[in-house]
Structure 1
Amino acid sequence: MEIGLETLNQLVSWLAGEFENQAQALDQPAWFVHLRLWHRPLPFLIDGYPALFAEQANALYLDKPYRQRVVTFRPTDPPDRLQAQYYACKQPDRWQGAGANPDRLQSLTLEDLELLPGCRLTVMRQDDWFKADPVPDTQCCFQYQGETRQVILGFEVSADTFLSYDRGVDPKTEQALWGAIMGAYRFQKRQNFGVELV
């Protein structure tokens, strides 16, 4: 079944918001840190399609969010799926806190972003969920503090729940280092930012 712009917009609307995994962190504190996650719509389109600014923070240190990135969404071929493409922020510290303070994104431009070619996901609709998996034969790598880091991306999202499968791995051994090592981080939506979509 061909996916149209209405379905794409629903995906982005479900993703747009502030999320928290408090229940999971209380239930399994040994395995899951209590996190806050923001997916804030950018005030402009990228290549004609919507994009989200994403960052997260330890709930104990909400003033120190990290993992600043931008993700765009578009139809792809075959037409029964969507594509999510990630970008790195060239100066992530400059945008730190923009998830909770969207006015800071007004000065963000494409020149502030770096395309991460291997960081792409294929998104499929599954009943009341969307599921995103890495494109086969790709590696999502980026530079952090002078070192090459690799992350395996993936998520599922419904109207009020976001599951993150992101996990950092050793680029040489692919041994998991951080993230969803013991299963997905399960976030519940606290605020909906869908009205901010352009």
Structure 2
Amino acid sequence: MDDLQYLWTLLSGEFSNQPQAIAEPVHFVQLRLWQRPLLLFGHDRPCLFLEQANALQLDRPYRQRLLCLEADFSGQLSAQFYQFKNAAAVLGAGQDPDRLRSLTPEDVQLLESCRLAVEQTSRGGYNAQLPAGCRCRFWTDGIERQVSLGFEVWSESDRVNFHSFDRGIDPETGRSLWGALMGPYEFTKVADYAVTG
């Protein structure tokens, strides 16, 4: 299995940060994160449909987005974000993947400034972050949004760990608004989703 396929496999699944939320309820909400594998652009660009919800409100998911993985001619990995032109059409697809069956490349919009550089880590996993000086900005509902994106994923003792560093940023002041304000959200995989390709 090459690096691209292995990264896709590690990231594909259902994740929870329950232990962290119980230990630090003031700083971390208990979340459920779904990362559904897709081949929207073909076998050389495996993707993931991402969605999350408060564990106490699983019927109210939010942050629907698409993450596509790529490897260049030298094997360097990157992760490119897209937004859905009609997020309502895929609302709830984390729990109901049948909603993704009719998805086409025309249903998503490239977020040009939201590409993560992916590097291997010493523990056999991967770290992804925005290049220095890069600002991930986009518009939704007529409002300019900015986010600081990043993650680390690795496997140990038959457990997959996924740490999310995502934070919402005020584009005017640069102040952090939501997300990993007190350190990363520390997820572990609680269910695997099979990948093909």
TM bin (shorter chain): over 0.9
Question: What are the equivalent positions in structure 2 for 1:55-74 lying under 5 Å apart?
Answer: 55-74=51-70
Aligned match of 1:180: 180
CA deviation string 1:71-119 (max 9, x = no partner): 1111137x36310000000111110111111111110000100000000
SS of 1:100's partner is coil
Aligned match of 2:84: 89
Tell me how large the CA RMSD over aligned residues is: 1.5
State whether structure 2 residue 191 is matched by structure 1 residue 191.
yes
CA deviation string 1:172-197 (max 9, x = no partner): 1111000001000000101111x233
Distance (Å, rounded) in 1 between the aligned partners of 2:168 and 2:59 = 23
Counting aligned pairs with the same residue, the percent is: 46
Distance (Å, rounded) in 2 between the aligned partners of 1:52 and 1:197 = 12
Q: Any conservation in 2 of the 1:141–1:148 contact (CA below 8 Å)?
A: yes
Number of residue pairs aligned between Structure 1 and Structure 2:
192
Aligned match of 2:150: 154
Moved more, 18-27 or 144-153: 144-153
Distance (Å, rounded) in 2 between the aligned partners of 1:118 and 1:47 = 24
* TM-score normalized by the length of structure 1: 0.92
1:113–1:124 CA distance, 2 compared to 1 (3 A): same
Distance (Å, rounded) in 2 between the aligned partners of 1:146 and 1:44 = 27
Q: Any conservation in 2 of the 1:55–1:65 contact (CA below 8 Å)?
A: yes
User: 1:51 Cα shift?
Assistant: 0.5
Q: Any conservation in 2 of the 1:152–1:166 contact (CA below 8 Å)?
A: yes
SS of 1:19's partner is strand
Structure 1 unaligned spans of 5+: none
Distance (Å, rounded) in 2 between the aligned partners of 1:188 and 1:107 = 30
* TM-score normalized by the length of structure 2: 0.92
State whether structure 2 residue 13 is matched by structure 1 residue 14.
no
CA deviation string 1:116-170 (max 9, x = no partner): 0000100001132200010233211122332101000000001311000000011
Q: Any conservation in 1 of the 2:39–2:45 contact (CA below 8 Å)?
A: no
AA paired with 2:138? F
AA paired with 2:8? V
State whether structure 2 residue 34 is matched by structure 1 residue 35.
no
Q: Any conservation in 2 of the 1:8–1:74 contact (CA below 8 Å)?
A: yes
Distance (Å, rounded) in 1 between the aligned partners of 2:163 and 2:96 = 23
Structure 2 unaligned spans of 5+: none
Distance (Å, rounded) in 1 between the aligned partners of 2:138 and 2:43 = 22
State whether structure 2 residue 122 is matched by structure 1 residue 129.
no
Distance (Å, rounded) in 2 between the aligned partners of 1:65 and 1:126 = 31
State whether structure 2 residue 166 is matched by structure 1 residue 171.
no
Distance (Å, rounded) in 2 between the aligned partners of 1:80 and 1:44 = 21
